[in-house]
Structures are given as C-alpha cells and as structure tokens.
A and B are shown apart, each in its own frame.
Chain A
C-alpha cells in the first residue's frame, strides 16, 4: 500500500484541457472517489495514475516515488476496468491468474492463489468457465479477483459497477466497501454516481471541467458543499438552489425571492464581502430539510405543486416557482396533495446554505 500524489498535473488533448492543473495527495490506506459528470477529467486522472495516459505537464508520485513517465507494468498497481477486460479465450482460473503468469509464477502456485482469491469473492466454483459463460455480476467479481490476486501499491477502479443492474450494484458496493476497509488498501475509484462515492469513499474529490472543486470527506461535502456545482451534484435529489437578492438592514441580512419568506439572518464579514460584490446570492436547502409548513413557520417557500412522487418511506414533493427553479422536498408524512394545490414548504434557519454570485460557498453560514 502506498500514497498517491498529483503535482500541478495538466493533460490536454489538442486544444481541449481534460485535466487542468490538478494537485492533491492521497494518503496510505485511503479510499478516494473521483466524482463528477462525464467529461470532467476523472477518468483521465485515473488513467494517468495507471500510466495509460501521460500528463502534458506536472508530476505524479506513487509511494513517494515519481512515476510520471513510467510504463504501467513498472508501477505495481492493479486496476479494474469498466468493461472488466476479461480475456474471452481464457477460463476464469487463467484470467485471474494472468498477472501471476506474467510474473513467471509456476502454474500450480498461481492457480492455487487464484482459487484462494476467487473463493473469497464466491466465484471459486466457476474456475473452469469462460467469461462468456458467467453472469455480469460474476464477471465483475472476476475482474476484481484479477486485480486482487497480486499485492499492488494502489488499486484503481474505473466505474467498475456501472455495468451492473441496480440490485447487484448495491451488493457489490457493500462488498467493495468491506473489502477495502478489511485489507486497508489504497484505492482510487472513479464514478459519476454520487451515492456510490458517498457510500465507499473516505474522501471524495468532486471534479468539474478538469479541476477539483472540492476534496473532502463525504460528510463534509454533504454538509458544506464548496460551490453550487457540488451542492447540485451531491445528494439525492440534489440541493435546492434558489436565486435570492440580499440586502443589509438593521445589521442583518434580508433575503428576497418570489414565494420566499425568510427571517433575517445574522450578518457576518463574509456575507458583507459577498454583498459588496453583488447582491444576487443563492440560497440552498437540501430536500430532506424541507417539510410541509405548519402555521406560523418562520422560513417558508410557497408555489403550486408540480409533482408528488411516492417512493415508499418518503414522498418527493416538487413545487414549481415558475422561473424554472423547482424546489423538491423529501416528505416523510402522508399529506394528500393534488396537482395545482399551492404548497408551502418550511425549513429551519440552521439548514440554510448561502453562495455568492460566483456560486462559491459563503463561509460561516451553517458551520
């Protein structure tokens, strides 16, 4: 196991900058998820760690040793591919044992080791099958087994669960989580699924347009998103963002928007700086922090009902404020709501997030 470090790494494909000036360091035994929409540079970053792409500039270190221009085979890493990359002409035993074969291990030893790993992953009884003769979930485990069969410094995962159906994905996710904590391996995991990142990672690097927007623990990213992008990407459904106009009055912050009633907030220096730049701010409230208003609620937002989706334990109530800004609440009560009803949702001041006109979090709010 080893640490991974990026220093000012840039990767361009022609005019397009896939990764622009990314620096971070991943500690020994950490499970880091690179999270972001497609085209944000997360897979390119992972492939540069693996050595499948060479950075345009910058340095990459694995275990303190510079590997920027090292061939993948000399990096002592393991990788699980999105399409599994199992060799169709080899049975499972040979597929799993292939990394040992290229290390010139004798046949009996490498098959014994492959069986050992396969047993842990509950595919030990399938060793004679070809990849085309097993299910998608089993193929995924086989590719995982091939990565685990030899001791690597870092384990890289390129959206390994995205080809599985929803139920299998949950199962595999739980298993991966357990495995990583159990082995204490250093893992870097690329995904566009925020739930996967939240469930697996010890830290998440949220990426957008080739940059890391926020690099923090899942709970930190959930509680204190650094930008509106992160706020809008993490959470299911994502955070509601309402454009508001802020004014200073009586030493407090007054926020105004259609249908919004909010008690004045405590003024801070940070808010003052943001207000000085622009009075247009963004108010953020997570759906789970919204509820159907009871009479006399201080902070409310009112609009006609757009949709009411029953999910079993909760309902997703969406109201339409007209200016394309819809607000969704996760309601855990059985209120009967009809389309066109005017609904008032309430939230408490402690769950309010504020962002300046660039979309950056205004520190101090809700910390």
Chain B
C-alpha cells in the first residue's frame, strides 16, 4: 500500500464546469429537499422530542402531552421487569440472538460458502445460480413473508404436504419453533446479498493466484483459507456490518409470526411497533426508536472508522 500524499484542501472552491446555474440547481433540489425535510429530518427530531413526553393516541395526553423527562427510558430499563417476556430487555436479547444466528452465521456463512462453491462451476451454472438468487432477493418483503407463511402453515402448508408425502408427520412450525422459523426465513432472505457481494469479491482476485496454488498442490479448503478469505477481508467486514444493521432493524418476521406466540419472536422493531401503534404509547415507542437509532449509530460509526482505516493503509 502506498501512502497518499497529504493534500491541503483548497481555500476557495473552484468550479471548472457546471451543468446548471446555482439558482437552477437549487430549484431542482428544492422538491427533494422538502420531501427529505418533512419525512426524514423532521421526524428524526420529533421522535427525540416525543420520547421525553407521555404522548398517547387517545385521552388527555393525546392533546396535551406532558414533559416527563427520562421516565420513558427508565420504564424501558426497569430492572424488575427488564428481562420478562414482552419487555424491552427480552426483545433486545432476542434480537441479538436473531442477528447472530440469522445474519452472522446464517447469511454471511452461507453466502460465503455459496459464493466459494460457484467459483469453480461452469459459467452457465454460475449465471443461472446468480439469476435465481437475485430473483429471490428482489421479491418484495410482503410477498416473501406470505410465501413463507403459506409454506409453513400447519394444515395446508407446502412443507407439511411434502413431509406427509414422504411419510413424515406434520409439524406446526410457526407455533412450536417460531424463533428458528424466523431465523431460517431471514437467512434465506438475506444470504443472496452476502453471496453476491462475496462472489464479486472473489471474482476480483486474479485467477493466477488460485492457479499458482493449484499447481503448488493446495486443496480447495487451503485455497479458501489461505488466499481467498484473507484477500476479501475488507468485503467481509463491510458485509457483516451491513447485514447486522439490516437484520437488527428488520420487521418482516412480523408477517410470519406477529411477534408471537407469546412474544417469542418479538424483535425490537416489532416491540417498538406494538408499543407505539398497538398500545398507542407514543412517548414510550419514541424512546424505543431513539435507543434503536443510537445502536444503529454505533454500528455505523464502527463501519465508517473501519472504512477510513482501510483508506489510510
């Protein structure tokens, strides 16, 4: 790696070429700017504000919410009930387990393995696999959610029909092992992204590296361990952080299990939804939202600092 020469920022911005005048540019930016302001920037600050009030949908506090300080936060972190089912702590631990099982182990590991396996197959098999994987990935979340619901249904589900056909008993998966259902679902849902990312990372390695290893006598596992993985380390870090954030915030499992049964699949995003839009405790819901934002911010900062380190090297 070469060290980039340190360049001092120019004092005055020099515009060599501009497609539009400043005024015209501003005019084009305004509609988008207004939309972003109304739907992103304003809610961001509004949520922080609401999280310090006892605002609700109905009743006295709907019209005249009172400032309650940190009461919402203290309620969320009340040590007496923190780990109870249906409470914030329970959701947070569940979400952590969910992220580890379905994102880090499921999506990333499966994606890495699949990406490695399709490196050596004939080109048409590789293209076909990529097409199917992308097709699975671009389907809308809602469609996938209901497809899986139909797949796993106890009475008319496709999976039970297939099990019955080979002489195995039916199972009520959504009720008996809901956590593993959403783990498998999210792995299936997201492995495509990791696979495509690792696939393109592997493709960027000069083929002669692997050929030299072949000639030297290396097995596929040795090539994977000694050459492929170390050379795509940067991609792996990026991927882990992205899918951690996405899985942490995902809401789609709600379509399968409604967060249940008895809160057993209530991830923080679903908990947030229940508190704010089913119990209509806007203040408390906003507090959950703020905590989630802070956790995401921490991930983002880690991501950015790693990205910056790579550039400095």
Contact = CB atoms under 8 A, between A and B. Distances in A.
Contact of A72 (B208, B211, B231): B211
Contacts of A284: none
A167 interface: no
Contacts of A98: 213, 216, 218, 226
Contacts of B230: 89
A83 B216 contact: no
A41 interface: no
Interface in B54-85: none
A79 B219 contact: no
B215 interface: yes
Contact of A85 (B209, B217, B218, B226): B209
A52 B120 CA distance: 12
Contacts of B212: 79, 81, 85, 143, 146
Given A98-B226, A101-B226, A87 B217 contact: no
A132 B217 CA distance: 24
B216 A99 contact: yes
A88 interface: yes
B169 interface: no
Interface string A86-119: 0111000000001101110000000000000000
B231 A85 contact: no
Contacts of B125: none
Interface residues of B, number: 18
B211 A73 contact: no
B206 to A, nearest CB: 7
A23 to B, nearest CB: 24
B208 A85 contact: yes
Interface in B206-236: 206, 208-209, 211-219, 222, 226-227, 230-231
A291 interface: no
Contact of B215 (A79, A82, A89, A132): A79
A146 B209 CA distance: 13
A78 B206 CA distance: 19
Interface string B188-217: 000000000000000000101101111111
B215 A72 contact: yes
A146 B217 CA distance: 12
A148 to B, nearest CB: 12
A160 to B, nearest CB: 12
Q: What are the nearest 3 A-B pairs in CB distance?
A: A99-B216, A85-B212, A85-B208
Interface of A: 50-52, 71-73, 75-79, 81-83, 85, 87-89, 98-99, 101-103, 132, 143, 146, 150, 156
Interface of B: 1, 206, 208-209, 211-219, 222, 226-227, 230-231
